[in-house]
Protein backbone atom coordinates (compact mmCIF):
# COMPACT_ATOMS: atom_id res chain seq x y z
CA UNK A 1 0.00 0.00 0.00
CA UNK A 2 2.81 2.41 0.89
CA UNK A 3 4.37 1.92 -2.55
CA UNK A 4 1.03 2.42 -4.28
CA UNK A 5 0.37 5.61 -2.28
CA UNK A 6 3.78 7.05 -3.24
CA UNK A 7 3.28 6.02 -6.87
CA UNK A 8 -0.01 7.91 -6.99
CA UNK A 9 1.76 10.98 -5.56
CA UNK A 10 4.57 10.62 -8.12
CA UNK A 11 2.03 10.36 -10.97
CA UNK A 12 0.94 13.89 -10.09
CA UNK A 13 4.56 15.02 -10.38
CA UNK A 14 5.22 13.22 -13.68
CA UNK A 15 2.82 14.91 -16.12
CA UNK A 16 4.83 14.04 -19.24
CA UNK A 17 4.58 10.29 -18.68
CA UNK A 18 0.91 10.58 -17.75
CA UNK A 19 0.20 12.62 -20.91
CA UNK A 20 2.04 10.00 -22.99
CA UNK A 21 -0.17 7.30 -21.45
CA UNK A 22 -3.29 9.18 -22.59
CA UNK A 23 -1.84 10.10 -25.99
CA UNK A 24 -0.83 6.56 -26.94
CA UNK A 25 -3.37 4.40 -25.04
CA UNK A 26 -5.45 3.60 -28.11
CA UNK A 27 -2.44 3.02 -30.36
CA UNK A 28 -0.76 0.56 -27.92
CA UNK A 29 2.69 1.23 -29.49
CA UNK A 30 4.38 -1.29 -27.21
CA UNK A 31 2.05 -4.21 -27.96
CA UNK A 32 4.39 -7.16 -28.45
CA UNK A 33 7.26 -5.37 -26.72
CA UNK A 34 8.98 -7.70 -24.23
CA UNK A 35 11.34 -5.49 -22.26
CA UNK A 36 14.12 -6.47 -19.86
CA UNK A 37 14.75 -3.50 -17.56
CA UNK A 38 17.81 -2.81 -15.40
CA UNK A 39 17.50 0.55 -13.65
CA UNK A 40 17.16 1.74 -10.06
CA UNK A 41 13.86 0.26 -8.80
CA UNK A 42 12.44 3.48 -7.36
CA UNK A 43 8.97 5.02 -7.17
CA UNK A 44 9.78 7.05 -10.31
CA UNK A 45 10.83 3.90 -12.17
CA UNK A 46 7.56 2.28 -11.08
CA UNK A 47 5.64 5.07 -12.84
CA UNK A 48 7.68 4.45 -16.00
CA UNK A 49 7.10 0.68 -15.75
CA UNK A 50 3.33 1.06 -15.44
CA UNK A 51 3.37 3.46 -18.38
CA UNK A 52 5.14 0.83 -20.51
CA UNK A 53 2.68 -1.88 -19.40
CA UNK A 54 -0.30 0.44 -20.01
CA UNK A 55 0.85 0.85 -23.59
CA UNK A 56 1.27 -2.83 -24.27
CA UNK A 57 4.65 -3.98 -22.97
CA UNK A 58 5.53 -7.11 -20.99
CA UNK A 59 8.35 -6.48 -18.49
CA UNK A 60 10.92 -8.30 -16.36
CA UNK A 61 12.85 -5.90 -14.10
CA UNK A 62 15.92 -5.60 -11.89
CA UNK A 63 17.78 -2.69 -10.32
CA UNK A 64 21.18 -1.55 -11.60
CA UNK A 65 22.63 -1.01 -8.11
CA UNK A 66 22.69 -3.14 -4.96
CA UNK A 67 21.58 -0.27 -2.69
CA UNK A 68 19.20 1.79 -4.84
CA UNK A 69 15.98 -0.22 -4.72
CA UNK A 70 13.10 1.28 -2.76
CA UNK A 71 11.46 -1.90 -1.49
CA UNK A 72 7.97 -0.42 -1.34
CA UNK A 73 8.25 0.49 -5.03
CA UNK A 74 9.37 -3.03 -5.93
CA UNK A 75 6.57 -4.52 -3.80
CA UNK A 76 3.96 -2.38 -5.59
CA UNK A 77 5.23 -3.66 -8.95
CA UNK A 78 5.09 -7.26 -7.77
CA UNK A 79 1.57 -6.65 -6.41
CA UNK A 80 0.63 -5.39 -9.87
CA UNK A 81 1.85 -8.63 -11.46
CA UNK A 82 5.08 -7.26 -12.93
CA UNK A 83 8.04 -9.64 -12.42
CA UNK A 84 10.60 -7.61 -10.46
CA UNK A 85 13.84 -8.90 -8.94
CA UNK A 86 15.25 -6.16 -6.72
CA UNK A 87 15.63 -5.31 -3.06
CA UNK A 88 17.70 -2.79 -1.09
CA UNK A 89 20.97 -4.29 0.13
CA UNK A 90 21.65 -7.07 -2.41
CA UNK A 91 25.00 -8.85 -2.32
CA UNK A 92 27.03 -8.68 -5.52
CA UNK A 93 26.02 -12.29 -6.23
CA UNK A 94 22.34 -11.55 -5.62
CA UNK A 95 22.68 -8.54 -7.93
CA UNK A 96 23.87 -10.80 -10.75
CA UNK A 97 21.13 -13.32 -9.93
CA UNK A 98 18.46 -10.61 -10.15
CA UNK A 99 19.63 -9.50 -13.58
CA UNK A 100 19.69 -13.11 -14.75
CA UNK A 101 16.04 -13.52 -13.66
CA UNK A 102 15.07 -10.75 -16.07
CA UNK A 103 16.86 -12.53 -18.92
CA UNK A 104 15.46 -15.97 -18.08
CA UNK A 105 11.91 -17.08 -17.39
CA UNK A 106 11.63 -20.48 -15.64
CA UNK A 107 15.35 -20.99 -16.04
CA UNK A 108 15.79 -20.30 -19.76
CA UNK A 109 15.99 -17.14 -21.86
CA UNK A 110 12.58 -15.72 -22.78
CA UNK A 111 11.68 -14.09 -26.09
CA UNK A 112 12.60 -10.59 -24.91
CA UNK A 113 13.01 -8.12 -27.75
CA UNK A 114 14.12 -4.87 -26.07
CA UNK A 115 16.29 -3.66 -23.21
CA UNK A 116 16.13 -0.60 -20.97
CA UNK A 117 19.53 -0.28 -19.28
CA UNK A 118 21.25 2.06 -16.82
CA UNK A 119 25.03 1.58 -16.76
CA UNK A 120 24.83 -1.27 -19.32
CA UNK A 121 25.34 -4.19 -16.92
CA UNK A 122 22.34 -5.95 -18.52
CA UNK A 123 23.70 -5.40 -22.02
CA UNK A 124 27.08 -6.72 -20.88
CA UNK A 125 25.52 -9.87 -19.41
CA UNK A 126 23.38 -10.58 -22.49
CA UNK A 127 26.37 -10.15 -24.80
CA UNK A 128 28.61 -12.28 -22.60
CA UNK A 129 26.31 -15.07 -21.44
CA UNK A 130 23.25 -15.13 -23.76
CA UNK A 131 24.56 -14.26 -27.24
CA UNK A 132 21.78 -16.26 -28.89
CA UNK A 133 19.26 -13.67 -27.69
CA UNK A 134 20.98 -10.93 -29.67
CA UNK A 135 19.13 -11.82 -32.88
CA UNK A 136 15.71 -11.14 -31.36
CA UNK A 137 16.69 -8.00 -29.43
CA UNK A 138 15.87 -4.86 -31.42
CA UNK A 139 18.16 -2.74 -29.23
CA UNK A 140 18.70 -0.97 -25.92
CA UNK A 141 17.79 2.45 -24.57
CA UNK A 142 20.57 3.54 -22.18
CA UNK A 143 19.83 5.94 -19.31
CA UNK A 144 23.15 7.16 -18.02
CA UNK A 145 26.49 8.71 -18.95
CA UNK A 146 28.59 5.79 -17.73
CA UNK A 147 26.42 3.34 -19.68
CA UNK A 148 26.77 5.33 -22.88
CA UNK A 149 30.55 5.49 -22.42
CA UNK A 150 30.72 1.71 -21.97
CA UNK A 151 28.50 1.08 -25.00
CA UNK A 152 30.57 3.41 -27.17
CA UNK A 153 33.70 1.50 -26.10
CA UNK A 154 31.97 -1.80 -27.01
CA UNK A 155 30.93 -0.33 -30.39
CA UNK A 156 34.47 0.98 -31.05
CA UNK A 157 35.80 -2.50 -30.31
CA UNK A 158 33.24 -3.98 -32.71
CA UNK A 159 31.64 -5.90 -29.85
CA UNK A 160 28.25 -4.15 -29.70
CA UNK A 161 25.79 -6.35 -31.54
CA UNK A 162 22.57 -4.34 -31.43
CA UNK A 163 21.51 -0.69 -31.80
CA UNK A 164 21.60 1.72 -28.86
CA UNK A 165 19.51 4.82 -28.26
CA UNK A 166 21.52 6.96 -25.86
CA UNK A 167 18.70 8.45 -23.78
CA UNK A 168 21.34 10.14 -21.63
CA UNK A 169 22.35 12.28 -24.63
CA UNK A 170 18.88 13.77 -25.05
CA UNK A 171 19.02 17.44 -24.06
CA UNK A 172 15.83 17.05 -22.04
CA UNK A 173 17.60 14.32 -20.08
CA UNK A 174 21.19 15.39 -19.37
CA UNK A 175 20.54 19.13 -19.12
CA UNK A 176 18.00 18.56 -16.35
CA UNK A 177 18.46 15.12 -14.70
CA UNK A 178 22.28 15.15 -14.67
CA UNK A 179 22.52 18.76 -13.49
CA UNK A 180 19.49 19.53 -11.31
CA UNK A 181 18.57 15.98 -10.31
CA UNK A 182 22.07 14.99 -9.28
CA UNK A 183 22.63 18.32 -7.54
CA UNK A 184 19.63 17.92 -5.25
CA UNK A 185 19.65 14.14 -4.70
CA UNK A 186 23.36 14.00 -3.86
CA UNK A 187 22.99 16.64 -1.15
CA UNK A 188 19.93 14.71 0.06
CA UNK A 189 22.01 11.52 0.36
CA UNK A 190 24.85 13.28 2.20
CA UNK A 191 22.51 14.99 4.68
CA UNK A 192 20.54 11.81 5.42
CA UNK A 193 23.81 10.00 6.23
CA UNK A 194 25.45 12.79 8.25
CA UNK A 195 23.16 15.77 9.08
CA UNK A 196 26.39 17.74 8.66
CA UNK A 197 26.39 21.54 8.32
CA UNK A 198 27.35 22.48 4.74
CA UNK A 199 27.51 26.28 5.24
CA UNK A 200 31.10 27.44 5.51
CA UNK A 201 32.57 24.00 4.83
CA UNK A 202 35.14 23.26 2.09
CA UNK A 203 33.28 20.91 -0.27
CA UNK A 204 35.43 19.21 -2.94
CA UNK A 205 33.61 18.05 -6.09
CA UNK A 206 35.74 15.77 -8.25
CA UNK A 207 34.74 16.18 -11.89
CA UNK A 208 33.09 19.11 -13.59
CA UNK A 209 30.86 17.27 -16.03
CA UNK A 210 27.08 17.78 -16.01
CA UNK A 211 26.67 16.00 -12.65
CA UNK A 212 29.62 17.73 -10.97
CA UNK A 213 28.45 21.10 -12.25
CA UNK A 214 24.94 20.59 -10.88
CA UNK A 215 26.27 19.42 -7.52
CA UNK A 216 28.72 22.33 -7.27
CA UNK A 217 25.92 24.80 -8.06
CA UNK A 218 23.61 23.37 -5.38
CA UNK A 219 26.27 22.99 -2.69
CA UNK A 220 27.31 26.62 -3.23
CA UNK A 221 23.66 27.47 -2.58
CA UNK A 222 23.96 25.77 0.81
CA UNK A 223 26.80 28.17 1.72
CA UNK A 224 29.74 25.83 1.18
CA UNK A 225 33.09 26.87 -0.28
CA UNK A 226 33.22 24.67 -3.36
CA UNK A 227 36.50 23.36 -4.78
CA UNK A 228 36.50 21.56 -8.14
CA UNK A 229 39.13 19.00 -9.11
CA UNK A 230 39.56 18.08 -12.78
CA UNK A 231 42.03 16.39 -15.13
CA UNK A 232 40.71 18.10 -18.30
CA UNK A 233 41.60 21.78 -18.77
CA UNK A 234 38.37 22.66 -20.59
CA UNK A 235 35.88 21.78 -17.80
CA UNK A 236 38.48 23.10 -15.33
CA UNK A 237 38.39 26.47 -17.09
CA UNK A 238 34.57 26.35 -17.12
CA UNK A 239 34.64 25.84 -13.35
CA UNK A 240 36.98 28.81 -12.91
CA UNK A 241 34.65 31.00 -14.96
CA UNK A 242 31.64 29.73 -12.99
CA UNK A 243 33.45 31.16 -9.95
CA UNK A 244 34.78 27.98 -8.33
CA UNK A 245 38.30 27.31 -7.04
CA UNK A 246 39.98 24.59 -9.08
CA UNK A 247 42.88 22.41 -7.95
CA UNK A 248 44.19 18.88 -8.23
CA UNK A 249 43.00 16.31 -5.70
CA UNK A 250 46.58 16.08 -4.32
CA UNK A 251 46.18 19.68 -3.15
CA UNK A 252 42.44 19.58 -2.32
CA UNK A 253 42.77 16.46 -0.12
CA UNK A 254 44.20 18.47 2.78
CA UNK A 255 41.75 21.37 2.34
CA UNK A 256 38.38 19.61 1.99
CA UNK A 257 35.91 18.89 4.75
CA UNK A 258 33.65 16.92 2.39
CA UNK A 259 34.50 15.15 -0.88
CA UNK A 260 32.15 13.86 -3.57
CA UNK A 261 33.34 12.17 -6.78
CA UNK A 262 31.34 12.64 -9.99
CA UNK A 263 33.89 11.70 -12.65
CA UNK A 264 32.95 8.25 -14.02
CA UNK A 265 36.67 7.44 -13.67
CA UNK A 266 38.44 5.09 -11.26
CA UNK A 267 40.87 5.77 -8.40
CA UNK A 268 40.05 9.46 -8.09
CA UNK A 269 40.54 9.44 -4.30
CA UNK A 270 43.26 7.00 -3.18
CA UNK A 271 45.67 6.28 -0.34
CA UNK A 272 47.88 9.39 -0.62
CA UNK A 273 44.73 11.56 -0.50
CA UNK A 274 43.42 9.79 2.61
CA UNK A 275 46.87 10.31 4.15
CA UNK A 276 46.50 14.10 3.98
CA UNK A 277 42.78 14.46 4.84
CA UNK A 278 41.55 16.25 7.96
CA UNK A 279 40.19 14.33 10.93
CA UNK A 280 36.44 13.87 10.36
CA UNK A 281 36.61 14.26 6.58
CA UNK A 282 33.50 12.92 4.80
CA UNK A 283 34.00 11.08 1.50
CA UNK A 284 31.34 9.90 -0.93
CA UNK A 285 30.64 9.18 -4.58
CA UNK A 286 27.70 10.06 -6.84
CA UNK A 287 29.03 8.36 -9.98
CA UNK A 288 27.39 5.19 -11.32
CA UNK A 289 30.06 2.74 -10.14
CA UNK A 290 31.91 2.45 -6.81
CA UNK A 291 35.35 2.63 -8.44
CA UNK A 292 36.00 6.35 -7.95
CA UNK A 293 37.05 6.07 -4.30
CA UNK A 294 39.60 3.37 -3.48
CA UNK A 295 37.75 1.46 -0.75
CA UNK A 296 40.56 -1.11 -0.62
CA UNK A 297 43.12 1.59 0.24
CA UNK A 298 40.86 2.90 2.99
CA UNK A 299 40.33 -0.61 4.39
CA UNK A 300 44.07 -1.37 4.27
CA UNK A 301 44.90 1.83 6.15
CA UNK A 302 42.19 1.57 8.81
CA UNK A 303 42.94 0.26 12.30
CA UNK A 304 39.20 0.13 12.99
CA UNK A 305 36.01 0.45 10.91
CA UNK A 306 32.69 1.06 12.59
CA UNK A 307 29.22 2.08 11.51
CA UNK A 308 28.10 5.43 12.88
CA UNK A 309 24.62 5.16 11.30
CA UNK A 310 23.04 3.96 8.04
CA UNK A 311 25.38 4.63 5.09
CA UNK A 312 27.99 6.25 7.35
CA UNK A 313 31.10 4.30 8.38
CA UNK A 314 34.12 5.73 10.25
CA UNK A 315 37.57 4.45 9.25
CA UNK A 316 40.11 5.10 12.04
CA UNK A 317 43.65 5.88 10.85
CA UNK A 318 46.77 4.86 12.78
CA UNK A 319 47.38 8.50 13.76
CA UNK A 320 43.89 8.77 15.28
CA UNK A 321 42.21 10.64 12.46
CA UNK A 322 38.79 9.31 11.40
CA UNK A 323 37.53 9.42 7.81
CA UNK A 324 33.83 8.87 7.10
CA UNK A 325 32.82 6.91 3.99
CA UNK A 326 29.18 7.15 2.91
CA UNK A 327 27.22 4.28 1.33
CA UNK A 328 30.39 2.22 0.90
CA UNK A 329 31.40 4.49 -2.00
CA UNK A 330 28.31 3.57 -3.99
CA UNK A 331 26.17 6.32 -5.55
CA UNK A 332 25.15 8.24 -2.45
CA UNK A 333 22.05 9.87 -3.97
CA UNK A 334 20.24 6.55 -4.52
CA UNK A 335 21.89 4.49 -1.77
CA UNK A 336 21.41 6.98 1.05
CA UNK A 337 18.42 8.92 -0.28
CA UNK A 338 15.79 8.36 -3.00
CA UNK A 339 17.53 9.51 -6.16
CA UNK A 340 16.30 12.40 -8.21
CA UNK A 341 12.83 13.82 -7.58
CA UNK A 342 9.88 12.82 -9.77
CA UNK A 343 9.64 16.03 -11.81
CA UNK A 344 13.11 15.66 -13.29
CA UNK A 345 12.84 11.88 -13.77
CA UNK A 346 9.62 12.56 -15.68
CA UNK A 347 11.73 14.22 -18.39
CA UNK A 348 14.30 11.41 -18.51
CA UNK A 349 11.64 8.73 -18.56
CA UNK A 350 9.53 10.44 -21.22
CA UNK A 351 12.67 10.10 -23.36
CA UNK A 352 12.99 6.44 -22.32
CA UNK A 353 9.38 5.84 -23.37
CA UNK A 354 9.86 7.48 -26.77
CA UNK A 355 13.13 5.60 -27.33
CA UNK A 356 11.45 2.24 -26.58
CA UNK A 357 8.55 3.10 -28.90
CA UNK A 358 11.11 3.84 -31.63
CA UNK A 359 12.88 0.52 -31.04
CA UNK A 360 9.51 -1.26 -31.15
CA UNK A 361 8.54 0.50 -34.39
CA UNK A 362 11.88 -0.07 -36.14
CA UNK A 363 12.07 -3.70 -35.02
CA UNK A 364 15.05 -5.94 -35.61
CA UNK A 365 16.02 -4.20 -38.84
CA UNK A 366 17.04 -1.04 -36.98
CA UNK A 367 20.55 0.10 -37.99
Q: Enumerate binding residues for ligand NRN (CB under 6 A).
A: 39-40, 42, 44-45, 118, 143-144, 177, 181, 185, 288, 334, 339-340, 345, 348
To ligand NRN, the closest distance from the beta carbon of 361 in angstroms equals 24
Of 11 and 177, nearer to ligand NRN (C-beta) is 177
CA within 13 Å, CB half, 215: 36
Nearest Cα residue to 9 out of 45, 47, 40, 39: 47
- Please say which residue, 42 or 311, places its beta carbon nearer to ligand NRN: 42
Q: Kindly report the CA angle at 260 between 335 and 234, in degrees rounded to 5?
A: 130
Give least dist CB 251 to ligand NRN, A. 29
Looking at residue 362, what DSSP letter applies?
A: H
Instruction: Kindly tell me which of 29 and 119 has the beta carbon lying closer to ligand NRN.
Output: 119
Closest contact distance (angstroms) between CB of 275 and ligand NRN is 31
- Spatial distance between the Cα atoms of 74 and 3, rounded to a whole number of angstroms: 8
Report the nearest approach of ligand NRN to the CB of residue 320 (Å).
Answer: 37
CA distance to 39, 113, 211, per residue, from 122 (Å): 9, 13, 23
What is the Cα 265 distance to its own chain's centre? 14
* Residue 62 vs 202, nearer CB to ligand NRN: 62
In 71-195, beta strands by DSSP E: 84-85, 104-105, 108-109, 114-117, 140-142, 164-166
Q: How far is the CB of 234 from ligand NRN (least distance, A)?
A: 22
CB of 345 to ligand NRN, least distance (A): 5
Q: Which is nearer to ligand NRN, 177 or 292 (CB)?
A: 177
Position of minimal CB gap to ligand NRN: 339
- The minimum distance between CB 237 and ligand NRN, in angstroms, equals 25
Compute the distance between CA of residue 148 and CA of residue 139 in angstroms, rounded to an integer.
13
The nearer residue to ligand NRN, 58 or 118, going by C-beta atoms, is 118
3-state helix, strand, coil in the chain (%, to 5): 50, 20, 35
Nearer to ligand NRN, 118 or 230 (CB): 118
How many residues in total does the chain contain?
Answer: 367
Nearest alpha-carbon partner for 333 in 193, 201, 154: 193
* Residue 293 three-state SS: strand
Amino acid sequence: EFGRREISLAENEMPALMALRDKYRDEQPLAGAKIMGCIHMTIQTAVLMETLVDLGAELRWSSCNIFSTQDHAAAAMAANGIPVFAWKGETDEEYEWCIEQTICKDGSPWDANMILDDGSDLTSMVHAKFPDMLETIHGVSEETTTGVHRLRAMADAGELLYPVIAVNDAETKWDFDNIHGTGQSTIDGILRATSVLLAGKNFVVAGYGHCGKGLAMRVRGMGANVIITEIDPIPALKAIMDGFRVMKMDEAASVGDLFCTATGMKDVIVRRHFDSMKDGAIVCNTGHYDCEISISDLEDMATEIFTIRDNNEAFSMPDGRRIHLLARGRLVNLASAEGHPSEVMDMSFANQFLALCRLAKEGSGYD
